[in-house]
């Protein structure tokens, strides 16, 4: 995938994981993660608990390893690279946070 795509995928994961973790867990630890993808180097500040940190690192690893030039949505990928249990967990987090984001948009709209 392109460097832009990689970066935006990282940012989406960060945003969704942080929303879920802030609502569901306590012991949140801020930390910085560096990325080197092709010629792209950047770092991202994350605030997550230990458990979510491990899971998001797994998701980042899968992203690094993704062999597709044009990355499909993981959901519609023909060769899913996630372990099933991890995929389910990540999907649950993305869904939870997606709903949270939708709700806050609706609240803003009506207030
Ligand atoms: Zn967490």
Task: Write out the two tokens for 37.
Answer: 């993808």
Planar angle of CA 97, 62, 27, nearest 5 degrees: 45
Burial class from Cβ neighbours inside 10 Å (0-12, 13-18, 19+) for residue 38 reads: exposed
Q: What is the DSSP string of 51-96?
A: HHHHHHHHHHHHHHH---SSPPPGGG-SS--S-HHHHHHHHHHHHH
pLDDT band at residue 108 using 50, 70 and 90 as cut-offs: confident
Q: Residue 8 belongs to what H/E stretch? A: helix 3-24
Q: Each residue of 43-98: pLDDT tens digit?
A: 999 999 999 999 999 999 999 999 999 998 888 888 889 999 999 999 999 999 99
Distance 70 CA to ligand 1 centre (A): 30
Task: Write out the two tokens for 3.
Answer: 């460097």
Output the pTM of the full model: 0.90
Mean pLDDT to the nearest integer, 5-20: 96
Q: What is the count of structural domains for the chain? A: 1
Distance 2 CA to ligand 1 centre (A): 29
Distance 20 CA to ligand 1 centre (A): 7
pLDDT value of position 42: 97
Structural domain boundaries, residue 106: 3-110
């Amino acid at each position: 995938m392109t460097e832009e795509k990689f970066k935006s995928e990282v940012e989406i994961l960060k945003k969704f994981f942080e929303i879920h973790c802030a609502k569901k867990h306590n012991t949140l630890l801020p930390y910085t993660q560096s990325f080197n993808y092709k010629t792209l180097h950047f770092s991202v500040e994350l605030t997550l608990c230990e458990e979510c940190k491990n899971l998001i690192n797994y998701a980042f690893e899968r992203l690094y390893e993704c062999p597709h030039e044009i990355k499909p949505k993981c959901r519609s990928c023909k060769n899913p690279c996630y372990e099933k249990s991890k995929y389910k967990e990540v999907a649950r987090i993305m869904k939870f946070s997606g709903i949270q984001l939708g709700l806050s948009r609706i609240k803003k709209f009506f207030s």
